[in-house]
A = this chain, B = another copy of it.
């Protein structure tokens, strides 16, 4: 499998978008490649070749994606190569992570309402409201996620 010129450009575009969501550059391009490639999986060599990157870089970035659960691999009988593919739960995982980012914020807000004096009630009020807002947001997201998990099984 070797990608064409148009696909190359598409991979760069998608890669840049993913970079903005905090993917390291090469990891972003690997994800992009796996999304664009037909069939939707690649061997290690196909990745190094198509992205013109070194084996070591690909190894590091790919393992990052594997550990993060964003990429997975399959194999074919009588072929010991691994065929890397985006995990179908990738997007769910990514959203899940965003939801999980909310809870540390809430912890901060709750800690502050505990430790701050009563001298600045307006500010304290604001912190309490923001905690409430985050709680609602967290809840709303969980509702969507749960519903989705149910329809999938």
Contact = CB atoms under 8 A, between A and B. Distances in A.
B148 A133 contact: yes
A143 B140 contact: yes
B136 A104 contact: no
Closest 8 CB pairs of A and B: A91-B130, A40-B123, A140-B140, A140-B144, A17-B104, A136-B144, A88-B126, A137-B144
What is the copy number of this chain in the assembly? 2
A21 B133 contact: no
Contact of A120 (B40, B112, B120): B40
Contacts of A133: 91-92, 95, 144, 148
Interface stretch (A31-39, A46-54, A74-82): A31-39
Interface in A105-153: 105, 107-108, 111-112, 115-117, 119-120, 123, 126-127, 130, 133-134, 136-137, 140-141, 143-145, 147-148
A98 interface: yes
Interface residues of A, number: 46
Contact of A39 (B36, B119, B126, B137): B119
Given A116-B38, A140-B144, A144-B140, A134 B104 contact: no
A150 to B, nearest CB: 13
Interface string A4-19: 0000001000100110
A67 interface: no
A40 B112 CA distance: 11
A60 interface: no
